């Protein structure tokens, strides 16, 4: 039986960064992925993911974000490839709404650069955005996006170059803690390790049944449209955005590489799913949800559909992450529940999980992310 210092289950964004961080510490690492590497069945495909410092979800995320930016730049320096694009970003909605007030709270607590723009000022600066009077926005110049699939490929490549062993299409069927190790069974083999890290996205609760009532996978759909006025939405002319509106909370990106304006709606149609049985096709009802936001707030982007794609959120009740040891053993660590806003943290989560596996502690403050918290 092959023995490893650490086995990582799930080789998406979090798992690939974790495998790299473990391997760079000189540890013997095995990464196991249920699907193909860079598959489109989870939460990390679709080309791009937002990154931002003005974090309306909670100011406690901001120190982690500073480190995440540093580590994304480190990845670029190591590989010679660009994965982080700074475009500026807006958090928009009612002046007293959660997004605007949360963004301002983070900016004030951490002295972040920002401007508050009314609907007319925002329209003058970014003509592709059309907010009604009464809405305001917090503009943050440090926001942007990360190339999600490219980042996974690069972290995986670096981990392999440092000696990690990574297996695709080898799902984990079970695990157990023994006095001196963790035993991990897959569809084809059995391995042992000193430590196990579970970063299996929407499949996490299937491996950790005690989280079944806490981690809830949710079906999400994204659309790419061909703008009617493409220049308004190009990289350099258009920011990333989060928009809280009566029609829902929308988020999106400038056009980059793939020639389309990308937009999604948080909690798309509020569909709780089993990731192995969910509907992975896109339907007119899915497009209608997204077109409502495009037509109302981004009318010059309301051109032909180029693509629709399904992905997954895995939500906790409070929509904060879980980064912690298993409550019953110090040999198993969990990175889960990223609730639709996690990918930007992959670089720093990899560091956190490697630190936990190697030493049992992390330099980062993880109080917000404890498993045994009140929901």
Non-local CB neighbours of 326 within 8 Å, separated by 6+ positions:
208, 332, 333, 334, 371
Q: Say whether 316 is catalytic.
A: no
CA 95 – CA 54 distance, rounded (Å): 16
Strands 29-32 and 165-167: parallel
Q: Which two tokens mark 91?
A: 């958090």
Give me the catalytic one of 48, 87, 225, 314: 48
3-class state of residue 102 by DSSP: helix
How many other C-beta atoms are found inside a 10 Å radius of the C-beta of residue 168?
15
Task: Tell me the sheet residues that pair with 302.
Answer: none
Residue 193 is given by DSSP the state E
45, 52, 326, 341: the active-site residue: 45
- 190 half-sphere exposure, CB direction, 13 A CA radius: 7
Is 49 one of the catalytic residues? yes
- Is position 45 annotated as part of the catalytic site? yes
* Catalytic site residue from 34, 186, 309, 311: 311
Note if 311 is an active site residue.
yes
Query: Of 34, 41, 49, 114, which residue is the catalytic one?
Result: 49
Residue 344 is among the residues annotated as catalytic for this protein? yes
C-alpha angle 232-236-238 in degrees, rounded to nearest 5:
45
Q: Identify the active-site residue in 206, 268, 320, 344.
A: 344
Q: ∠49-17-8 over CA atoms, to 5°?
A: 125
* Run of H or E including 351: helix 346-359
**Residues acting as catalytic residues:** 45, 48-49, 262, 267, 311, 344
């Amino acid at each position: 039986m092959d023995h490893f210092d650490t086995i990582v289950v799930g080789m998406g964004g979090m798992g690939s960064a974790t495998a790299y961080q473990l391997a760079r510490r000189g540890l013997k690492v095995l990464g196991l992925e249920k699907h193909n590497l860079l598959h489109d069945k989870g939460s990390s495909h679709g080309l791009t993911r937002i990154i931002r410092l003005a974090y309306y979800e909670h100011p406690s995320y901001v120190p982690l974000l500073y480190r995440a930016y540093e580590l994304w730049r480190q990845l670029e320096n190591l590989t010679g490839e660009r994965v982080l694009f700074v475009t500026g970003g807006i958090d928009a909605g009612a002046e007293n709404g959660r997004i605007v007030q949360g963004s301002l709270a983070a900016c004030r607590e951490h002295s972040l650069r920002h401007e508050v723009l009314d609907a007319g000022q925002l329209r003058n600066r970014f003509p592709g955005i059309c907010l009604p009077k009464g809405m305001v926005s917090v503009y943050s110049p440090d926001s942007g996006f990360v190339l999600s699939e490219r980042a996974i490929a690069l972290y995986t490549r670096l981990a392999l170059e440092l000696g990690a062993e990574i297996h695709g299409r080898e799902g984990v069927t079970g695990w157990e803690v023994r006095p001196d190790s963790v035993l991990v069974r897959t569809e084809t083999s059995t391995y042992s390790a000193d430590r196990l890290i579970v970063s299996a996205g929407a499949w996490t609760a299937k491996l950790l049944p005690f989280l079944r009532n806490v981690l809830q996978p949710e079906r999400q759909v994204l659309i790419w449209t061909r703008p009617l006025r493409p220049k308004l939405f190009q990289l350099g002319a258009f920011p990333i955005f989060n928009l809280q509106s009566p029609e829902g909370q929308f988020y999106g990106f400038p056009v980059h590489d793939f020639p389309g304006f990308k937009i999604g709606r948080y909690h798309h149609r509020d569909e709780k799913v089993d990731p192995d049985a969910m509907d992975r096709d896109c339907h007119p009802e899915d497009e209608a949800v997204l077109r409502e936001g495009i037509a109302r707030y981004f009318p010059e982007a309301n051109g032909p559909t180029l693509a629709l794609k399904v992905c997954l959120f895995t939500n906790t009740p409070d929509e904060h992450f879980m980064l912690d040891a298993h409550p019953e053993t110090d040999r198993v660590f969990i990175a889960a529940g990223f609730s639709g806003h996690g990918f930007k943290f992959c670089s720093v989560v990899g560091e956190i999980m490697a630190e936990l596996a190697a030493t049992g502690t992390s330099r980062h403050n993880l109080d917000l992310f404890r498993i045994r918290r009140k929901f």
